[in-house]
Chains A and B, each alone.
Chain A
């Protein structure tokens, strides 16, 4: 007997639940925006400049002494954090005043000071980014996310109809905002890797939505007598086994990466895991139900006289 995560024929009234879902979506989105506004993102050196160093000590250092030692160099307020083990410390320093080369001079000063006071230290990882470069990285990242959304909307419009484009992008914006909200809540460091994660979330959340949209379109052609609410319910239910199965496989791959993968990409993987969950939710509850609110009607209701429907195959068999 083969495993079935979702029973063969489900008949869940997703459309009927849509007001509850919209409420929840609104709540999540507003909460995320609120968190972003109040707590803000813990932006990494990629985006605000400054430096991060992962320092490996011979023996676990006393963090207070270490902090005091770093602050004594006079290069700004340091933030220290154990990283993986007690003898591995992440030191973060803000962007120093001065020219483009200033941040590198700080790197040199800190390394010299630590080598002197803690013989045998090694620097497992050093990342320093100057002010101008970090501004460019923010700009490029924003462009990448914005353009992805735009092209997705255009493609969906071109391939389907304009209202699929809008419902998809609204759901995607929700996914992105909630992911950012998660980062504001947990204060996990938000760096370039996370931007890649956000872009991937857009990509895969899109997968789900395209699959459902595809089925809605197919059913609109097939069942001309049904009203749109029924069609959407039917489409979401028909694709439900696939939606759940794919999310579960993706999650099992990502959870392996989250718990067994390198510590350096923990935030990246965490973002993906959350994104898959949120994306699946918004595919099932938000984007397709939104089509109703956008005023899409089936043929039975006198809608869709679009030419693009003219060539559709005729399926006479009714379910």
Chain B
């Protein structure tokens, strides 16, 4: 039991040396270690370094609605380009999660039905239909309904796109090291370190930034509009300065074709936002403005009309400018939004945890002081209780802390405030293994065993108990990690690592130290 083969001794020494090597970067300033040595410092959680944790959620209903709206485009497109001339239809409605419309000419209902079945056919082999196409109850009526899997796919695509857009927006802000990850079906977690006030960030993330250019319907009856009824093919939108504007539903061009957007000034020297279309967009813009000279068109951002200038002459270069009541700041924000593209779905902040950098620094300081005092208190207690074996436990304890630091730094596990608490707890608990062993040795000595026999039995009997107790604790830590969120996870990580390393340091290493001493000193009596 107390014999250690040479290789085992070397393996233990190697493990300790490697731990020191990996823990070392945490004790020196970055860049001072030679390049062949590990450089990873322990990543600190936002609660320690300050920063914002934001959880954004997309309304799945919004995605479903957007999916229906894009189906409307499909229907209009397919009907317009049908073989044998456009198929006329009436009563198109988007209600109850379904798109309904009625084909005017009974003879062409079948053709329309087939066109749409084909247009919405699944692309992948073996994948189910995203949209069900069916006949409605009324004669000539066709009903398109996105299936559950279709909506799930749409949500999935929208979220993947949203992550990209958010990444661009945050990069534009010049924020360092943001973490952007999808969580669950319809959520995105954004973590940005070092922010004092995330208001600007939240404002950027909360805007969809859907830019549309639509023609203003100047022929609408003001009385009807006042009642909230728009003429067919038109819609009523609120204007930024107040009041409403009636615009054609169909957009002449959307922000999807923007390639750049910058802050500039208008003719009066006030801040404005300039934009440039890509070549296709530029051509379409040129064509639309050429055809509609003298008419007003509306620039719409997220469903609000920002301005509705009249087209004085065709705009051919693919460039334009948006005027509104902007300050340099708001103009800059809008330019960033337009540059990074629109979000496919509106995102809402459903959870925020922001910690200012000062508070974070306070927490680190307090946490470190508490840890040091804990180690000291436990050390004093162990040494005055168990003497030499207490010293061994304390040495093991220090190496245990170093090992936890090393593993967390090497694997880039984040240290959070609950993590520090976990560390302090591990310090207290790691000595439990030694207490078990030492108490058992005391007991065996009382029973009249010799020194070596007592130590041997003490280790043997206590090890079984230590394994039982630590297996149970690992189970609890794993459950915490799997089910816990945020702070619980950070705590569980440190705890799991601490349990594993404490068995190594408190049992194996202390046994090595004890056996070396017993072999060289051959004590006749053991004071413990």
Contact = CB atoms under 8 A, between A and B. Distances in A.
Interface of A: 2-5, 8-9, 54, 56, 99-101, 103-104, 107-108, 111, 122-130, 132-133, 137, 140-141, 143-144, 147-148, 151-152, 155-156, 159, 192-193, 195-196, 199-200, 202-204, 206-207, 210-211, 214-215, 218, 238-239, 241-242, 245-246, 248-257, 260-265, 268-269, 272, 319
A2 B487 contact: no
B55 interface: yes
Nearest to A99: B348
B469 interface: yes
Contacts of B477: 203
Interface residues of B, number: 79
B429 A206 contact: no
A272 B469 CA distance: 18
A314 to B, nearest CB: 16
A257 B468 contact: no
Contacts of B350: 100-101, 103-104, 129-130, 132-133
B354 A159 contact: no
- The 3 closest A-B CB pairs, nearest first, are A101-B348, A253-B428, A144-B483
Given A3-B385, A9-B446, A152-B476, A100 B348 contact: yes
A262 B374 contact: no
Nearest to B355: A125
B134 interface: no
Point out which of B353, B369, B439, B477 has the most chain A C-beta atoms below 10 A from its C-beta: B439
5 contacts: A193-B487, A206-B472, A261-B370, A261-B420, A265-B418
Nearest to A112: B199
Nearest to A108: B199
Q: Is the interface of A mostly helix, strand, loop or mixed?
A: helix
Contacts of B349: 101, 104, 128
Given A4-B385, A101-B206, A262-B363, 19 more contacts: A9-B446, A104-B349, A111-B199, A133-B55, A144-B483, A152-B475, A195-B484, A200-B476, A211-B436, A242-B436, A246-B436, A249-B432, A253-B425, A255-B377, A256-B373, A260-B369, A261-B421, A264-B363, A319-B447
Interface of B: 47, 55, 57, 59, 196-197, 199, 202, 206, 348-356, 358-359, 362-363, 366-367, 369-370, 373-374, 377-378, 381-382, 384-387, 417-418, 420-421, 424-425, 427-429, 431-432, 435-436, 439, 442-443, 446-447, 461, 464-465, 468-469, 471-473, 475-477, 479-480, 482-488, 491-492, 495, 527-528
Contacts of A255: 377
A262 B417 contact: yes
B358 A211 contact: no
Nearest to B359: A124
